[in-house]
């Protein structure tokens, strides 16, 4: 059974994500995670992973969140090419 996927954005400073299967990469400018609904790219500044539970499928990101985007599975490229599109 697939875990439900939800996003809760609190004031562009805290993002709660459920349905997370894996975190591909993260730094202070971006987070790339695989969710049950596709690859999610979070862009911003001063980002930090506050909580990560792959068993529970939950991820919490704090910092200044500028954008959220889902990547099509057919798109190719590394983390930096996805981050700076």
pTM of the model: 0.82
Residue ranges making up the domain that contains 39: 6-71
Q: Is residue 57 part of a domain?
A: yes
Q: Which of 8, 22, 1 is nearest to 65 (CA)?
A: 8
Structural domain count, the chain: 1
pLDDT, averaged per 10 consecutive residues of the chain (85 residues), comes to: 89 97 96 95 97 95 97 59 57
Q: Is residue 85 part of a domain?
A: no
Q: For position 66, which CATH number holds?
A: 2.60.40.2000
- C-alpha 28 chain-centroid distance: 12
Residue 82 belongs to what H/E stretch?
A: helix 79-83
């Amino acid at each position: 059974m697939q875990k439900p996927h939800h996003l809760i954005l609190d004031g562009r400073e805290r993002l709660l994500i459920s349905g997370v299967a894996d975190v591909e990469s993260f730094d202070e400018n971006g987070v790339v995670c695989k969710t049950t609904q596709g690859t999610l790219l979070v862009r911003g500044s001063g980002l930090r992973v506050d909580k990560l539970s792959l068993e529970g499928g939950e991820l919490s990101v704090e910092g200044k969140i500028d954008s959220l985007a889902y990547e099509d599975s057919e798109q190719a490229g590394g983390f930096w090419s996805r981050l700076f599109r």
